[in-house]
Amino acid sequence: MKSYVVLISVTAALGGLLFGFDTAVISGTINFIQPYFGLSEAGLGWTVSSLLFGCIAGVSLAGKAGDYYGRKKILTVAAFLFLVSAVGSAMSTSLPVFVIARVIGGLAVGVASILSPMYIAEIAPAKYRGRLVSLNQLAIVIGILVAFFTNYLLVDTGENNWRWMLLVMVGPALLLFFSLFFVPESPRWLVAQNREKVALNVLIQTAGKELARKELWDIRQTLQNPEEAAYRELLAPTVRPILWVGVILAIFQQITGINTIMYYAPKIFAQIGQSNDTALLQTIAIGGTNLLFTIVAMLFIDRVGRKFLMVTGSVGMTVMLSGLSLLYFMGQATGVLVLIFILGYIAFFAASLGPTLWVVVSEIFPNRLRSKGMSVALVSLWVAATFVTIIFPVMLEALNGAVTFMVFAFICLVNLWYVVRYVPETKGKTLEELEKELLK
């Protein structure tokens, strides 16, 4: 694989790092912003979820904007918004300013969540596309870990500690902003803009001289219609089944419960009577497992395929959550046992639905409709994420662990059925070959 392509993908994946960081950093600030802004429990819930509402808006806007202005430009705008959000939230002295800054951060997360994987998929050679787009998931996971660590390191820096925690994001935001000046635009977008010469140059650098002309020709064939793509084209009989796969996979990635653990692990452990001083250890164990098994997925995704990973992952997640539910049911939910099943669940998620969703959703749509199709699928993802985040603490309180985790185990099982039955394998083919095959 060309190191140039890797470098470009790493740059775009910084968007994923900021996505991970920004969604996770808030957890460490909660205990300090709540008294500072005088928030009730409900107020805190709304303040924390303000980011998610921004994400929904960001990902909806990015579909059209990515087509109109290009993937790279809009990603640069996202980097700038991350910067504004970091500084704004860190310096805020009133709740409205804080919430607005977090919504701006959400806009940036939404934009990055669609454009980073899409841009990588459009620039990557078919053979390594799975691995390269998974870099984005690896970056999300690293971003989450960085947030947990910097929160931990900064907690004793006095009354402004939460401000420093939020300000950390300035570093990666600046890095993304400036490094984007050195990467080319997506060749697929360039062809759509009739800038074929530039596109060919990019393809020569990414795919090599021999393949470049053929790829350019293939891309051109898929972009014959000169009019701007409309959202309603997603409902055409040939495209609709693809849209469904994108939307349903995106929803499943969230409602199979990953963020009940990522956001609420301390709450789960507190509920079974674990003291707070092992919280850091648990966080490290969860983050480390997430990281390790994302790498495992990257090693295998282009060899065994996306579908195989999704299937094994869904089986594993079902087993782990059922085990967890059983522990509660039998009154055996002790710290160590719960942690073992949670880590098992995280490992299976990280090796499957974590990376594969981003890979598949950026591969299945035709060139002409990728941006809009992904936008619809990922709006569904963020709505589902918001829903699970709001509903989980209520479920855990009202239904207890046995029922709550059994519900999520059941959803994993349904996901397994759906993947086996409806999800196409996308490994190894160029986006244009896939387009021909999937539009049939």
**Residue ranges in contact with ligand BGC by CB under 6 A:** 137, 140-141, 253, 258-259, 262, 290, 354, 385
Closest CB 183 distance from ligand BGC, rounded Å: 23
Per-residue CA distances from 98 to 42, 48, 87 (Å): 16, 10, 10
Closest CB 354 distance from ligand BGC, rounded Å: 5
Per-residue CA distances from 376 to 29, 226, 381 (Å): 32, 22, 9
Q: Which is nearer to ligand BGC, 129 or 368 (CB)?
A: 129
Closest CB 313 distance from ligand BGC, rounded Å: 12
Closest C-alpha to 409, from 292, 315, 275: 315
Q: How many residues does the chain have?
A: 440
Closest CB 147 distance from ligand BGC, rounded Å: 11
Distance of alpha carbon 234 from alpha carbon 256, whole angstroms: 26
Closest CB 263 distance from ligand BGC, rounded Å: 8
Identify residue 86 by its one-letter amino acid code: A
Q: Which residue has the tokens 């990588």?
A: 120
| C-alpha torsion sign, points 10, 248, 257, 390 | positive
Distance of alpha carbon 283 from alpha carbon 172, whole angstroms: 22
Structure tokens at 19: 């996505």
Distance of alpha carbon 39 from alpha carbon 45, whole angstroms: 9
Q: Which is nearer to ligand BGC, 141 or 438 (CB)?
A: 141
Distance of alpha carbon 287 from alpha carbon 282, whole angstroms: 8
Closest CB 279 distance from ligand BGC, rounded Å: 18
Q: Which is nearer to ligand BGC, 239 or 265 (CB)?
A: 265
SS3 329: helix
Distance of alpha carbon 240 from alpha carbon 361, whole angstroms: 14
> Counting Cβ atoms within 10 Å, is residue 402 exposed (0-12), middle (13-18) or buried (19+)?
middle
Q: Which is nearer to ligand BGC, 222 or 362 (CB)?
A: 362
Sorted by sequence, the CB contacts under 8 Å of residue 256 that are 6+ apart come out as: 314, 317, 349, 353, 408, 411, 412, 415
Q: Which is nearer to ligand BGC, 206 or 362 (CB)?
A: 362
Identify residue 80 by its one-letter amino acid code: F
Q: Which is nearer to ligand BGC, 134 or 206 (CB)?
A: 134
Measured CA angle at 213 (ends 208, 218), to 5 deg: 115
| C-alpha torsion sign, points 413, 305, 293, 423 | negative
Distance of alpha carbon 180 from alpha carbon 168, whole angstroms: 20
Closest CB 346 distance from ligand BGC, rounded Å: 8
Closest CB 55 distance from ligand BGC, rounded Å: 10
Closest CB 97 distance from ligand BGC, rounded Å: 26
Q: Which is nearer to ligand BGC, 216 or 261 (CB)?
A: 261
Q: How many CB atoms lie within 10 A of CB 330?
A: 9
Q: Which is nearer to ligand BGC, 70 or 354 (CB)?
A: 354
Q: Which is nearer to ligand BGC, 60 or 193 (CB)?
A: 60
Q: Which is nearer to ligand BGC, 33 or 133 (CB)?
A: 133
Closest CB 65 distance from ligand BGC, rounded Å: 21
Terminal Cα distance for the chain, rounded:
31
Check: CB of residue 329 under 8 Å from CB of residue 402.
yes
Closest CB 385 distance from ligand BGC, rounded Å: 6
Q: Which is nearer to ligand BGC, 14 or 141 (CB)?
A: 141
